[in-house]
A and B are shown apart, each in its own frame.
Chain A
Amino acid sequence: MSTEALQKNRQDLDHVVIRFVGDSGDGMQLTGTQFSTSAALLGNDIATFPNYPSEIRAPQGSLYGVSGFQVNIGATEINTPGDDLDLLVAMNPAALKMNVKDLKPGQMVLVDSDAFSRTNLQKAKYESNPLEDGSLSNYNVVAVPMTKLTREALKDTGLDSKSMTRSKNMFALGMLYWLYSKDPKHTEAFLQKKFKNKPQVVDANMKALKAGYHFADTLELMPTHYVIGPAEKEKGTYRIIMGNQATAWGLMAAAQKSGLELFLGSYPITPATDILHELVKWRHLNVTTFQAEDEIAGISSSIGASFAGKLAATSTSGPGLALKGEALGLAVMLEIPLVVVNVQRGGPSTGMPTKTEQADLMQAMYGRNGESPLIIVAAKSPADSYDMAFMAAKLSLEHMTPVILLTDGYIGNGSEPWRIKKLDEMPEIKHRRVTEYQEDFHPYVRDKKTLARPWAIPGTPGLEHVIGGLEKDKIDGHVSQDPVNHEEMVKLRADKVRKVKDYIPALETEFDQEGDLLVVGWGGTYGSLKTTVRKYKEQNPDAKVGLAHFSYINPLPHGVADTFSKFKQIIVPELNAGQFADLLRMTYPQFKYNKYDKIQGLPIGSEELIKEFNKILKAE
């Protein structure tokens, strides 16, 4: 590629938020993934988020068939896929219409002007062509006849016009590589590998990519190109990882570390299915997956697997967790290890399956009959899902109780660079399996410190015993309906979970350790909150603002009251109607909690939250 192109006007940027949007068939996911991977390989920090329609192949050009991919690329630490856009790439009118509202005023929207036909405008419900009627005058519109230019570039390939048109996403990608001064060699290598048996396809895509790159170079509409330098990160080997993949790998890591085999019983549900998709590939690495007939069989098979001595897990989303409730109660009663992953989505009922929410917190806490406490942990970012899935398994195995891991659609489908953590970096896991005969064995005699019971599994001679959902005697485990024993058992099970507090990290505060405002979050909002606090402190250098983010929900970690008491105000932003704030109020009623709830299926944006900070701090 031309190096003199890089000599032209260049401008350094700290970070840039780009969204690629088009028809589901336009290859926007691929284009976005390629662009962000190239940026990461060149040292940028990134965070990405795909945005699919819930229809699989909606009619071409329609508003509900728009598919998108957003990436935030930075020369500094990036914690979210970004709020408002610096660049929108829209491949048709419908894509433009659905997304242009998120573009910052004055910023560039790059469109394929060939796609703005009368039919497509009608399908997008535009009465006139927005490229011509002045309605986009707030933006820098760069309209490029990408379809025509792609066909022109490919006219000697012998491909039919439909196949040629299919490469127009590569044309757009080529333009972006020029615009952001990125070497396209990663994509060239990718194309050669992906289509190695289809040289004609490789050739066409490479030609389109180059054509786009050179077109941007000569285009006067794009006088400047931008440079985003490498971000400072901890040294090590990195890869880009999606949240659901990280969850799957975290479970695998826990199995490897504990010397157990992994079992996943699961039923397909958006947005959790990728965990099943990932684990099913590794059946030759001591992973058994079982696609069950329903959600209940998903968890039930895992209970059966745990009984047989596997590290057992089940993955689902909100409606699935509701169906698993009774069986989860059984797991609490049996006191067996089991990891339940809930990739939360918009509810109630079917709700908004492809949109994110954090509204299953209370379901996780209380969604079972009877007194039925269990451990709840939450992942705060795509890469953190690895650590939290590992911790969920560790706590479950060491404390003999089910654990719910809460992630959400936003971090489950999002991706970011992850410094690869090998097994020797992960903490030890000491499971409680009993493999040899013991004189006078009782299945419900507990460890004095943790109150966890032993895990004797079928196949072990002399330890035969029956476990079940009926209340049992606190020692020998035989069925007991004795009133006093029942109350003792309820309290023992609760104490066992409560004691986990001593085995998890204490609450930490980022930014200021005391002062005016403490931002309290949990789970997948971490990136949004961190970005917002950082921005707020930049704008208000005198404000003393801290961020306390919870990875452990039940039990809550040590240090909560101590941390909370160091700040004048507390705000709890979350993607629900205030469930965590309610939980905190129940546990620590001595503090006043300002709520900030957002229930739109969207992450929290910095600007909206900064307004809220101001409201609280300026009102004082």
Chain B
Amino acid sequence: MTTNIKYTFKDFASDQDVRWCPGCDDYVILRSIQKALPEIGRKKEDIVFISGIGCSSRFPYYMDNYGMHSIHGRAAAIATGTKLSNPDLSVWVTSGDGDSMAIGGNHFIHAIRRNIDLNYILFNNEIYGLTKGQFSPTSLLGQKTKSSPYGNVQAPFNPGELAIGAQGKFFARAAGNDAKLQVELYKAADNHKGTALVEILQNCVIFNDGAYNDISDKSVKADAQLVVEHGKPMIFGKDKNKGIILDGMKLKVATIGENGVKESDILVHDAHEPDPSLHLALINMKAPVVMGVIRAAKDKTLVDREKEATEYAKKFNPIKSFEELLFSGETYEV
């Protein structure tokens, strides 16, 4: 339900001291969500944050909404029950790469498959933070961590690719230090009907510091990131002269004005396209790393389909009340 009350970000801040490490990108995420919520315009009491275990999962304590800090990996399953029970709520999941893709992998993919209307914020720092530095399902091959002193031997997931494989309809990505883009993505996620996965490339200052430096650092950002927008050409770079073109079946970076490439040759982003092929190619690009709303395809949500099934039962099931049910079928008198 929308509201006429004019909130500011302070209305969403709880009285609890925030206990993340100084300099952690989690502060940026927290503030960006607190800034996005007044713009989203839902009533405070209708917003719920549910989390699992990990640094990211402390999030609900810092919000002045309803919230649950649950157990490791299960936030998506709990949030599914909450949303099914009250579809009017705006239900948010805050979770990390370990919480979502290791211990909670099953719930993660099934929530996406069902297209339950959740805003799922994935804090991806490519490491286990709260247990002090083990490799996670997104850690790079060869990465040295406390549990991989000779280099990680387990190949990583790409969360967006996993989401597409699980029939994901919404995927967006932002750098952990990019507050401005994050605010836009959280608004877009809440506006989307269905599971909206937002991956934040979040820097862990203690156990994996600098993991995203070559993407997020101010000095390289313009050339290392392409921020896509629906309906706009995929142009990036310091000089706004680089863009994405289709080369056979593959995406390729081209420079406008070089080799006869004109601005009209640059692909225009279509986030609404149901076929995920091009979205997947964008998700998997390494240089530049694609940010923004990469995919936002319309589909019915789990709640929509549940409602249809209930309507069907209402119409065709001859038993209309519990009392009728008790006395339905064969009964006899003694």
Contacts and interface: CB of A to CB of B under 8 A. Distances in A.
B84 A288 contact: yes
B46 interface: yes
A262 to B, nearest CB: 10
B313 A283 contact: yes
Interface string A300-340: 11111111111010000000000000110110001000000
Interface residues of B, number: 58
A282 B325 contact: yes
A460 interface: yes
B69 A470 contact: yes
B106 A469 contact: no
Contact of B81 (A261, A263, A464, A467): A263
A281 B63 CA distance: 39
A296 B76 CA distance: 11
B317 interface: yes
A303 B66 contact: no
A461 B70 contact: no
B209 interface: no
From B43, B46, B66, B306, residue with most partner A Cβ within 10 Å: B66
B239 to A, nearest CB: 47
A168 to B, nearest CB: 25
Nearest to B80: A301
A439 B83 CA distance: 27
Given A307-B68, A422-B323, A283 B81 contact: no
Contact of B60 (A282, A284, A288, A466): A466
Contacts of A305: 81-82, 84-85
B85 A297 contact: no
A459 B329 contact: no
A422 B67 contact: no
User: Which of B81, B325, B334 has the most CB atoms of chain A within a 10 A radius of its CB?
Assistant: B81
A252 interface: yes
Q: Which of B71, B314, B333 has the most CB of A within 10 A?
A: B71
Nearest to A45: B334
Contacts of B330: 37, 41, 239-240
Contacts of B84: 263, 288, 290, 301, 304-305
A231 to B, nearest CB: 9
Residue of A41, A292, A309, A419 ringed by the most chain B CB atoms within 10 A: A292
A3 B331 CA distance: 26
Nearest to A456: B66
A281 B319 CA distance: 10
A285 B325 contact: yes
B82 A304 contact: yes
Contact of B323 (A43, A265, A306, A423): A423
Interface string B71-114: 10010011111111110110000000000000000110010000
Interface string A270-284: 000000000001111
A309 B46 CA distance: 13
B177 to A, nearest CB: 27
Contact of A308 (B74, B82, B329): B82
Which one of B79, B106, B306, B331 has the greatest number of beta carbons of chain A within 10 Å? B331
A515 interface: no
A228 to B, nearest CB: 16
B322 A423 contact: yes
B77 A292 contact: yes
B19 to A, nearest CB: 10
Contacts of B326: 239, 249, 420-422
Given A238-B333, A284-B310, A466-B69, A297 B106 contact: yes
B85 A309 contact: yes
A300 B61 contact: no
B74 A238 contact: no
Contacts of A459: 45-46, 86, 88-89
Contacts of B89: 308, 458-459
A563 interface: no
Interface in A27-53: 37, 40-41, 43
Given A327-B71, A468-B70, A41 B81 contact: no
A77 to B, nearest CB: 13
Nearest to B87: A308
A463 interface: yes
- Between A234, A282, A288, A464, the greatest number of chain B beta carbons within 10 A of the residue's beta carbon is seen for A464
B332 interface: yes
A351 to B, nearest CB: 24
Contacts of A478: 16
Contact of B332 (A40, A300, A421): A40
Contacts of A265: 81
A55 interface: no
Contact of A296 (B16, B65, B74, B80): B74
A469 B71 contact: yes
Contacts of B47: 458
A304 B310 contact: no
B126 interface: no
A146 interface: no
Contact of B45 (A285, A301, A330, A462): A462
A236 interface: yes
A40 B77 CA distance: 44
Nearest to B57: A468
Given A288-B85, A458-B66, A297 B80 contact: yes
Given A256-B322, A290-B80, A327-B74, A466 B68 contact: yes
A40 B334 CA distance: 10
Contacts of A239: 326-327, 329-332
A433 to B, nearest CB: 13
Interface string A224-262: 000000000111111110000000010011001000010
A303 B48 CA distance: 14
A612 interface: no
B321 interface: yes
Given A459-B45, A462-B45, A312 B322 contact: no
A-B residue pairs, 7 tightest by C-beta: A304-B81, A468-B69, A301-B81, A300-B77, A308-B85, A466-B67, A297-B77
11 contacts: A43-B334, A281-B313, A284-B314, A288-B84, A293-B77, A297-B107, A300-B107, A305-B82, A419-B334, A423-B323, A466-B60
Given A249-B325, A458-B48, A460-B45, 15 more contacts: A41-B332, A282-B325, A290-B84, A297-B106, A300-B80, A301-B78, A302-B81, A304-B50, A306-B81, A308-B81, A308-B82, A458-B45, A466-B63, A468-B68, A470-B69
Interface of A: 37, 40-41, 43, 233-240, 249, 252-253, 256, 261, 263, 265, 281-285, 288, 290, 292-294, 296-297, 300-310, 312, 326-327, 329-330, 334, 419-423, 457-470, 478-479
